[in-house]
Structure 1
Amino acid sequence: MYQGSVQHQQPAVPVLEEQQLDEFLGAVPERGQWRYRPRRVGMVWRSKAFRAGAVITALALCGLVILALVRQQTGTEGFLVGLGLAVLPVPLLMGAFRWLDRVEPGPWRNLLFAFSWGACAAALVAIIANSFATRWIATATADPASADTLGATVVAPVVEESAKAVALLLIFLFRRQQFGGIVDGIVVAGFTATGFAFTENILYLGNAFGEDQQLGTTGFASVTVGTFFVRVVMSPFAHPLFTVLSGIGFGIAALGGARHRVRRVVMPVLGLALAMGMHALWNGSSALGPYGFYLVYGAFMVPCFGLVTWLAVWSRQRELRTLSTELPVYAAAGWLTPAEPLALASMRARGMARDMARHWNGHPDPARGKAAARAVAEYESFATSLAMLRRRARHDGAGPDFALREQELLHHLWHRRETAAPALTYAAHATGRIRTRLPVPPPLPRQLPYGGLPPRHLPAPHRHYGGHNPYLEDGGRPAPPS
């Protein structure tokens, strides 16, 4: 490629200090070859569609069976009443966990899988195993009362928390790229437990309604109102709190790379054990006397909930700080503007950048404004993933997929930077992240920058990055936007 085209090439990729450049920088693939394919654990199914279909079918069958069992125990009318009441806290809990995940949002398919696993598979395992164990204990001890107590305080916590933790384990193993730390563990665990609590609440509320029908009680004195108040109003966070302890264990394990194999095994097991212990204490509170429930709730559950909430928010802020720590090296190399890492480390600035992209120049075509805002949102997501990837590589060493994943993320950033970079720069100034004069937002390009060109002042790529530039036509002329 002749020297006159050097100014149109991409910047060089920043090099990790502990690695030689030649170890992980290769030629830039053709556009059609940009597809990240990490190594999978135990790749059994080759067809992605077949795997997805099998998982959906299995969860659907579990859902049909568990719903049939619940309807059998509660009756049709009780089932419908329980369903209507149990669904009320679900959007609030899902919204809270999704808010926590806004820094680096995980794909919805993982969260829906986690919720479905909790509501269908884990609930089915729990209702079958708990019923079998309780009957076996009652037969062995000839004491139904003690069988119920042992079933609630010993069997149920072990069975239920183990069944819910399987969803965490599956996503941790098979979606490792999307499971990067404590926040991801908390969010996946929260969705799993929300699904489980949803199904369990249908059963409890449906049975309470059936009991009221038999006794003829209505109003605030009814069993249904009391059950709703305890399970939905006072403690909707109970199951999520238990399972979040397992999620924290998996999240800490995810932070440790191949160098911390002991941590990767011990922390999930420790988190699961803590989840079982807290669940057992909660279930056994009724055996501590008439005020046992209130004692455990006020002296233990509420403080633990506050502590876990603080840890979740702290981890979220830590992710934001990671962006301002890891991304400046890409700004120095020319991939980002100096203001972008500061804007990306602020949720307020990120939201303002999306709004700016949506409303610049009035956008007479609403679809164009939405597309611009979507491009900025995608840019923010890819930049966050890039920062997390580099942090893991610095702390635990660059894995065999690091170079390809880094290049893929930079590729996605480059194709959106013409829209996102001005919006984020403006947001950094507007939110006070940079104490300088507020720039005037430039007009948006006529077309979205999915074929955008690098600015002329950026340095040429390192010679080891490869001689082919996918954004230039043969002869060095800029390629037209695609």
Structure 2
Amino acid sequence: MPALSPKSVLEGRSSNRAPVSLIIGLVISGVCMLLALASYFAMDPGAPGNVVIGMLLALPTAIVLVALILLIDRLEPEPRLNLLVAFGWGAGVALLGALIVNSLGESVLAVVLGPEPATVLTVSVIAPVVEESFKGALLLFLLVVRRGEIDGPTDGIVYAGLCGLGFALVENVLYYMQGLASVPGEIWGTVLIRGVVAPLGHPMYTAMTGLGIAYAATHRGVGRVFAPILGWCAAVFLHALWNGGSVLFGFGGLVLAYLVEAVVLAVLVIVLVRDRRRLVHLIGRYLPSYIPSGLVAPNDIQMLGTMRGRRGARNWARHQAGAVGAQAMGDYQLAATELALLHAQAERRTIDPQAFFARRGQIVTLMGMAREAFFRRMPQPKQPAPWARNQQSGFFTVPQQLHDMPTHKLRIPPQPPQPPGRPGSWS
């Protein structure tokens, strides 16, 4: 069996190949997005350039918001393929599915209720339910198939936000096309509303589902069953409030919906800040148990607690040992963060003991390999960075054997018996 790469270990994969389910999901999402754009062209075949112009108008907002989400995700970044699938699902599968279902629903209602009531009911009720269901399906998939990737509220918000941004990107193309085909100058009002005033609509709605999924992934008990349902209900409510408020009550309803969503946005920011502090607390709580082994030092824990400290450590490692040193330091930082989160899972009993010990063995081996890679490239001892001064153990020393460490000091369940002949090293 070939050795796992650092990237595979950090992403919790059992092989160096990308998961087939994610690749299939990405391909399906791409095909669905192309079909959605083709349907837009079919709606307005006389102006093929409107599709291109609409995409150009929609891209700047999407790029800025994707960068913002990636900025939020720096402390414990999610696998890039997972993030790409989340964005693609929103832009492809969710968008095309919602377009089909909404259109069929409005057609049926038009026969029963008439065109105008059908449009109002579709926009204010059916569309929020259908769209949040399609977007939430991706999060439910992650909960069932890739549950280990969701370690807290931030992960739920990140995946949900990217899914919502993908949906908003392609949907905005349609609205901008309609603006280009209508009264001259109306397009800029549409761009102002959808691209400047309320660009966080879809990401915010789906973030409610993401919070529910994150709770289910990190907790036990009855609450984990109801949390995703409550999150989805909150997403539908916010979506319906925005759509229905503007349709039924005009500008006043739009202002009310905007104020409510501003409050929700502030709450999400507070959740993100508190979750960042929680992760720093986990690092300070669990990693000191590894100090006696030499794997971690007190200065390492301080460095891992801030983005500034991590960036400074990588810069110092690059100065000492080049690009390999910087990569080794980055691998060490991410592995140490994953180790703290792994202990949190064990304490909450959301991971079984055997899986815990297997995963811990991979992580601590990666941390040791990262240190060795640094030393192989480091030509000679140099002046340590400020955060590493007086450091006697950790990244810059060879650790003692981890199996000598008392298990009861690690706040983990007893190690299950190993079958005879089972290799203890990372391979």
Partner of 1:89: 61
> How far apart, in 1, do the equivalents of 2:319 and 2:188 lie?
48
Tell me the amino acid that sits aligned with residue 273 of structure 1: C
Tell me the amino acid that sits aligned with residue 95 of structure 2: A
Superposed CA RMSD: 3.2
Show the 5 A alignment for 1:143-222: 144-212=115-183, 217=184, 222=185
Instruction: Find the residue that maps to 2:291 and give its secondary structure.
Output: helix
Of 363, 387, 391, which aligns to 1:428?
Answer: 387
Show the 5 A alignment for 1:18-417: 32=3, 51-74=21-44, 75-142=47-114, 144-212=115-183, 217=184, 222-256=185-219, 260-286=220-246, 287-297=248-258, 299-360=259-320, 369-396=322-349, 398-399=351-352, 400-417=354-371
Partner of 2:404: 462
Matched residue count:
397
CA contact under 8 A between 2:299 and 2:391: conserved in structure 1? Answer: no
CA contact under 8 A between 2:204 and 2:265: conserved in structure 1? Answer: yes
* TM-score with structure 1 setting the length: 0.75
Partner of 2:409: none
* TM-score with structure 2 setting the length: 0.85
> How far apart, in 2, do the equivalents of 1:177 and 1:377 lie?
21
In structure 2, relative to structure 1, the CA distance for the partners of 1:254 and 1:282 (3 Å cut) is: same
Instruction: Find the residue that maps to 1:339 and give its secondary structure.
Output: helix
4+ aligned runs moved over 6 Å, structure 1 = 33-40, 420-423, 463-471
Higher gyration radius (CA): 1
* Superposition deviation, residue 319 in structure 1: 1.2
> How far apart, in 1, do the equivalents of 2:224 and 2:422 lie?
40
> How far apart, in 2, do the equivalents of 1:459 and 1:48 lie?
32
CA contact under 8 A between 1:352 and 1:427: conserved in structure 2? Answer: no
Tell me the amino acid that sits aligned with residue 223 of structure 1: E
* Superposition deviation, residue 136 in structure 1: 1.0
* Superposition deviation, residue 227 in structure 1: 0.1
Q: Deviations over 1:101-159 (max 9, x none)?
A: 111111100000000000000000111111111111111012x2211111011100000
> How far apart, in 1, do the equivalents of 2:135 and 2:293 lie?
44
* Superposition deviation, residue 312 in structure 1: 1.5
* Superposition deviation, residue 395 in structure 1: 2.2
* Superposition deviation, residue 296 in structure 1: 2.1
Tell me the amino acid that sits aligned with residue 69 of structure 1: S
Q: For CA contacts below 8 A with separation 6 or more, give which structure has more relative contact order.
A: 1
* Superposition deviation, residue 291 in structure 1: 2.3
Tell me the amino acid that sits aligned with residue 225 of structure 2: V
Tell me the amino acid that sits aligned with residue 329 of structure 2: V
In structure 2, relative to structure 1, the CA distance for the partners of 1:38 and 1:339 (3 Å cut) is: closer
> How far apart, in 2, do the equivalents of 1:397 and 1:272 lie?
23
* Superposition deviation, residue 53 in structure 1: 4.8
Partner of 1:6: none
* Superposition deviation, residue 58 in structure 1: 1.9
Tell me the amino acid that sits aligned with residue 386 of structure 1: L
* Superposition deviation, residue 39 in structure 1: 11
Instruction: Find the residue that maps to 2:222 and give its secondary structure.
Output: helix
Q: Which has the higher helix share?
A: 2
In structure 2, relative to structure 1, the CA distance for the partners of 1:317 and 1:427 (3 Å cut) is: farther
> How far apart, in 2, do the equivalents of 1:195 and 1:80 lie?
17
Tell me the amino acid that sits aligned with residue 363 of structure 2: L
Partner of 1:475: none
CA contact under 8 A between 2:26 and 2:84: conserved in structure 1? Answer: no
Tell me the amino acid that sits aligned with residue 223 of structure 2: R
